[in-house]
Amino acid sequence: MRVDDLRSLPLFGDLADGQIAQLVAAGTVVRIEPGVELFREGEPADSWWALVDGQIELSRRVGREETVVGRMDGPGRWAGGFRAWDERGVYLATGRGTVEGRVLRVPAAALGELAAEWFPFGSHLISGLYHTARSIESTARQRQSLVALGTLAAGIAHQINNPAAAAGRAVDELDEALRTLVSSLGLLAGEDVSAAQFVALDALRGELASRPVVTDALALSDLEGDLESWLDDHDVERGWLLAPALAAAGADPAWCERAAGAVDGAALGPALEWVASTVSATALLAELKESTGRISELVGTVKSYSQMDRASMQRVDVADGIDSTLAMLGHRIGGGVTVVRDYASGVPPIDAHAGELNQVWTHLVDNALDAMDGTGTLRVAVHLDGTDVAVRVADTGPGMAPEVAERAFDAFFSTKDVGKGTGLGLDIARRIVVERHRGSIAIESRPGETVLRVRLPTD
């Protein structure tokens, strides 16, 4: 290629012949052939391509399809070379020949050196622009990720706090119940209760386990009053303390009469204390088991959501990931929001980056909850559509304005105030679904309903 071949191109109009000669010497001429790929989207943009003649088609992958986004159809059009100023620059599209011709390919490193030599100030500005933009983007994404993480951490801490507090309270009460149990056994021994009497008393205690628990608050209050009156009539000390425990276990005055017949009069008080403390200890152990089980369940949810100790790419059940996300965001789903799950049977697992997909579900569910502002219905559906797993997240919020829906997937676009929600619109979700999992994501919105549809290939 000669200097005269480039002199007439507007791109090189302001360069001296010597500068054009330097470009030609630094680069190589590449023939353009129809259908032959010259550079690929997402790969390092380590070359600068300047069209001399012919035509190059530029395309990007959108979902599972490749879409033409532009053409280099005039001499002097150029692409790539971003690594001359940005060490992490990549090609924004795939370039493929459509009309035979020639293109000058100059290594990005050589382009950067020539630009710095010819236009030092301009080259400095371009480099600064790249680095400033990338720094702002990185900081913003990191900040929003920290805000989202802090919100989730606060939410899960709130959910763990309730069963943890219940467990602590049960332990304290269990300690008191066990002290009473031991002391009552000592008192029974002091009254010379026989083995036969104790066996009869234990049988009565076991009988309470099969009785239905009184759940109606008014009926339970009446039963406590009847028991307290009976205990007072039989000179049982601390009847006011024994009555609630016995009532909660299902005892009634008739049962107490049978207990009085099983032991001598002086031993009745310690006997009922032993029964009350035993049934209380059993109930407190059940409460402790339930509380610690809930904590364990929440910890398991966090591990499932974060994919701790698991490979990045794995076989994933999409519905399980969504359930983990709903559990993580449980603190945000108040009494005014109804969650409806519609998971079809037979949906196969897919190969996916599980932790990243959970980020997608977090964005979709979080946005839906924000839209409903505490009142409405959140519908989540998972089914198989052809060879794709289709996910539908719908809310009954006010819907998006057309101009908002149109820009929802734009980077940095958000209708939320700083520090509220997961921020950055749906750009993060789109990149994870489209670029990382070869899927697609779309919005359908009208007043009273907004639907986010995600499709993920199974192959």
Contact 208, 250 (CB under 8 A): yes
pLDDT at 418: 39
Task: Tell me if 416 sits within 8 A of 423, measured CB to CB.
Answer: yes
Cα distance between residue 295 and residue 300, in whole Å? 9
Sheet holding 440-446, edge to edge: 337-343, 376-385, 388-395, 449-457, 440-446
> Could you please report the per-residue DSSP string of 358-396?
HHHHHHHHHHHHHHHTT-EEEEEEEEEETTEEEEEEEE-
Q: Specify whether the backbone of 108 is left (phi greater than 0), alpha (psi in -120 to 50) or beta.
A: alpha
DSSP state of 426: T
Convert 264-293 to b/e letters by CB count within 10 Å (16 or more is b): eeebbbbbbbbbbbbbbbbbbeebbeebee
Q: Residue with structure tokens 């559906």?
A: 381
Spans of all domains in the chain: 3-118, 157-298, 311-457
160: which 2 tokens?
Answer: 């763990």
Quick check: 228 and 243 in contact, CB under 8 A?
yes
**pTM of the predicted model as reported, rounded to 2 decimal places:** 0.45
CA-to-CA dists, residue 39 to 25, 81, 94, 270, 305, angstroms: 21, 11, 6, 89, 38
Specify the CATH number of the domain 3-118: 2.60.120.10
DSSP H/E element including 142: helix 120-190
Task: Find out if CATH 3.30.565.10 is the number for domain 311-457.
Answer: yes
Whole-number Å distance between alpha carbons of 79 and 84 = 12
Residue 329's SS3 state is: coil
Note the pLDDT of residue 301: 64
State the CB neighbour count (10 A cutoff) for residue 199. Answer: 11
Say what angle helices 318-328 and 120-190 make with each other, to 10 degrees.
80
Taking each helix axis from N to C end, the angle separating 268-306 and 120-190, rounded to the nearest 10 degrees, works out to: 160
- Tens-level pLDDT at each residue, the chain (459 residues): 788 888 888 888 788 889 989 989 999 999 999 999 999 988 888 999 999 999 999 998 765 677 888 889 889 898 988 888 887 788 888 999 999 999 999 999 999 899 888 888 777 777 676 666 666 555 555 565 555 566 666 667 767 777 888 888 889 889 988 998 898 888 888 888 889 999 998 899 888 888 887 778 888 899 899 999 999 888 888 888 889 888 988 899 999 999 988 887 788 888 998 998 998 898 889 888 888 887 887 776 666 665 554 556 788 899 998 998 888 788 778 789 999 999 999 999 999 888 788 888 988 998 899 889 889 999 999 999 999 999 999 999 998 888 778 778 776 565 554 344 444 457 778 888 988 888 999 999 889 999 999 999 988
